[in-house]
Structure 1
Amino acid sequence: MNTRRNFLQQLAASALAIQLQPLTSLAKTPFLSYDGPMLRVAIMGLGSYGNRVAEAMKDCKKAKLVGAISGTPSKLKDWQGKYGIPEKNCYNYETYDQIKNNPEIDVVYITTPNALHHDQVIKVASLGKHVICEKPMALNAKEGQEMVDACKKAKVHLLVGYRMHFEAKTLEVIRMRNAGEFGKIMFFQGQCGFRIGDPTQWRLNKQLAGGGSLMDIGIYAINGSRYMVGEEPVWVTAQETKTDPVKFKEGVDETIQFQLGFPSGAVASCLSTYSMNNLDRFFLNGEKGFAEMQPSTGYGPIKGRTNKGELTQPHMTHQTVQMDAMAGIILEGQQPPVPVNGEEAVKDLKIIDAIYKATKTGEKVALKL
């Protein structure tokens, strides 16, 4: 039975779909009455983010959680009860190749540590299943391209968890920029960071994370600079600062500042850190106007304003919107306003590679995306 809260959520979803109609075909089907194909999802990696996705999918209209993959038997048992997942759709890391013969699973959403993505994506693709992978997609651009190539060879989709590409206020800023309402874009600033806790967690392990803050929170400033400016950068400079070499060991960056240059002459100044809180801000400046978002990439609600006033688009759980949109991409061939495919992720990885090179050499590094 529908509650008032559920009805209001559905109503907000429908209103958002109508609002985004000029931007994307994702909104062609009203969310209030959907009876089309359903994307059946298994999540690999049942940690905090896997749980967040699973919770969000309870409200999806086009996607359904049907499977789970974990190395921890107790987590699989918990998920069977919590999310109604059949035992036959639960696997560990030694047995998940059996999903090849499971017609109830269409796609595997990989939310494991960064270093595991490459091999897991390639294996899932070889099993004939579509793949959604969390960001950053790999440890470097070489790995990322191998993943893209493997999925193309297997004729499966490779999508990446760029949830902000579906967020309503973000899309409104992109619409305004595309419409010329800010005029010529001159400058972007992206500040992303927080004080990281437990020093033993995988995010501070070079072998599992591939780096430090840049391989976690920094990806938002990298990707955000591209979709906010609306161009691909052609050069990067970068500087690393480390105040705690015990916590942030060799190869695990604490704070990186980086600058990007774009073909039009626009520049970006960005910060990625694990040592400062209150940093989740985007600022876009053009000759005719501006957009400021703070928080800009958190789980929401996103808040923002432009020279024309406050952004008032309704908040919806990012992962719910993302998974419904990805169902439309995989099942119906729909195209999002900002790409979320593997090729998009490889571009970010090329920038990450260049940033790390620039911190080591102190030189401006040319980019060709």
Structure 2
Amino acid sequence: MLDRRTFMEKIGWGTAGSLILPHYAFSCTSQNKKLGVCLVGLGSYSSNQLAPALQLTQHCELRGIVTGSPHKIPIWQKRYDILDKNVYNYDTMGEIANNPDIDVIYIVLPTGLHAEYAIKAANTGKNVWCEKPMAKTVAECQSIIDACDKNNVKLSIGYRMQHEPNTQTVIKWAKTQPYGKIQKVRAEVGFNIRNPGDTWRMDKELGGGLLYDVGVYSINAMRYTTGTEPLSVIGKFENTRPEVYREVPETTLFDLEFPDGIAAHGRTTGRESINILRADCENGWYQLSPFQSYNGVGGKASDGKLLNTFIENQQARQMDDDALAILEDRPVMVPGTDGMKDIAIVEAINQSAETGEKIMLS
């Protein structure tokens, strides 16, 4: 598996270089300025999702890059008209502090590197967007929050689903309860992964496995679907292919107890394709399937109501929301405290799975 040193070598390290607030994307605004965004890490998510999405945004645009792979620089400059003065490597990243073209630094590195580089970003005095999961530990999450507070910059975590309209309906129903009191919630994400390969996501140190990569979507969904915070958690690991999943579990099961007797069940797995969020209530049910996908997120309710409001690009909506929060000086939709709560639950799931005990959450 990739260790930290190997990953750094592969990317050319050191070379030439409260849960939810109301949705307000694409609202009318007196601000005409577009914020300049600098992407830190030019892997698949930056290349295939974020950079294309930034061509669709109304309130921000791609102006800078930070990379440890010099061969990528001319490709990105040609494709996105990025100026020479807006190109950095990991050693020169601090110089962004003196660049008025850049307003936001977006951390899109492996999870195990989020804290280090989100703190560096905050210390430039620029606003920070950090991809989910926020970090590997609660302590790292808190260090990011502290750095952003110290530098008086906004911090937003890249949970795109909270910006998605059908998810927004589920969030609203946590308060209005149109189908009566919520009794059970189920949130599962899985893929039929025959061979995950030596990717950083399956590396215990850099990625942490499926629980970190997509399990946080299930955990976050449980929290916004119930509108409350869990009281306890029980976790369990399953691994039918230890020769493949050598450092991280193939499957993680987790049961969370919420106030008012709400029971929530979650699962992440590399054995089966599944993608569902369901709430069972006193007088009916509703679900999104898929609930976590780049497109096609939608669902239905027991009375036949459809959750089928679709948008062109989730990442564009997310980044425009976060840009407007900066331009209009309003709270971000997914603050660092929200991301940290999910990591606290991840740590508790891991602890429970290792000890076999129920973990109480404060």
- TM-score, reference length from structure 2: 0.90
Residue pair 2:174, 2:224 contacting (<8 A) in 1 also = no
Matched with 2:115 is 118
Give the secondary structure class of the aligned counterpart of 1:131.
Answer: strand
1:287 aligns with 2:286: no
Figure out how many residues of one structure are paired with residues of the other and give that number.
339
Give the root-mean-square deviation of aligned CA atoms. 1.6
Q: 2:267 aligns with which of 267, 271, 275?
A: 271
> C-alpha displacement at 1:39, in angstroms?
1.6
Distance 1:35 1:27 in 2: 12
> C-alpha displacement at 1:316, in angstroms?
2.5
Counting only pairs closer than 5 Å after superposition, residues 123-272 of structure 1 correspond to structure 2 as 123-196=120-193, 197-209=195-207, 211-250=208-247, 252-272=248-268
> C-alpha displacement at 1:78, in angstroms?
0.9
Q: 1:71 aligns with which of 68, 78, 93?
A: 68
Distance 1:26 1:320 in 2: 10
- TM-score, reference length from structure 1: 0.88
Residue pair 1:69, 1:76 contacting (<8 A) in 2 also = no
Distance 2:292 2:330 in 1: 24
> C-alpha displacement at 1:100, in angstroms?
1.1
Letter in 2 for 1:363: E
Instruction: Write out per-residue CA displacement over residues 8-57 of structure 1, whole angstroms, 9 at most, x where no aligned residue.
Output: xxxxxxxxxxxxxx944445417xxx752212100011111012111011
Counting only pairs closer than 5 Å after superposition, residues 84-95 of structure 1 correspond to structure 2 as 84-95=81-92
Instruction: Write out per-residue CA displacement over residues 42-99 of structure 1, whole angstroms, 9 at most, x where no aligned residue.
Output: 0011111012111011110001110011111121211111111112101111111111
Matched with 1:18 is none
Residue pair 1:237, 1:365 contacting (<8 A) in 2 also = yes
Letter in 1 for 2:185: F
> C-alpha displacement at 1:178, in angstroms?
2.0
Q: Structure 1's 276 and 24: CA in aligned 2 closer, same or farther, altered over 3 A?
A: closer
Q: Percent identity?
A: 37
Runs of 4+ with >4 A deviation: none
Give the secondary structure class of the aligned counterpart of 1:297.
Answer: coil
Q: 1:304 aligns with which of 299, 305, 329?
A: 299
Give the secondary structure class of the aligned counterpart of 1:42.
Answer: strand
Distance 1:27 1:188 in 2: 31
Distance 1:45 1:65 in 2: 13
Residue pair 1:42, 1:66 contacting (<8 A) in 2 also = yes
Distance 2:196 2:26 in 1: 41
Matched with 1:29 is 28
Distance 2:24 2:78 in 1: 36
> C-alpha displacement at 1:181, in angstroms?
0.4
Distance 2:245 2:327 in 1: 43
Gaps of 5+ in 1: 1-21
Residue pair 2:231, 2:259 contacting (<8 A) in 1 also = yes
Instruction: Write out per-residue CA displacement over residues 175-212 of structure 1, whole angstroms, 9 at most, x where no aligned residue.
Output: 23322202111010011111334411111111211x21
Residue pair 2:26, 2:58 contacting (<8 A) in 1 also = no
Distance 2:222 2:96 in 1: 38
Distance 1:165 1:37 in 2: 25
Matched with 1:355 is 349
Letter in 1 for 2:334: V
Instruction: Write out per-residue CA displacement over residues 203-252 of structure 1, whole angstroms, 9 at most, x where no aligned residue.
Output: 1111211x2110111111011100111110010001100111122123x1
Letter in 1 for 2:143: E
Matched with 1:5 is none
Distance 1:25 1:193 in 2: 31
Residue pair 1:121, 1:133 contacting (<8 A) in 2 also = yes
Residue pair 1:186, 1:286 contacting (<8 A) in 2 also = yes
Give the secondary structure class of the aligned counterpart of 1:301.
Answer: coil
Residue pair 2:26, 2:320 contacting (<8 A) in 1 also = no
Q: 2:311 aligns with which of 312, 315, 319?
A: 315
Gaps of 5+ in 2: 1-20
> C-alpha displacement at 1:288, in angstroms?
2.1
Larger mean CA deviation between 355-364 and 309-318 belongs to 309-318
Distance 1:162 1:200 in 2: 25
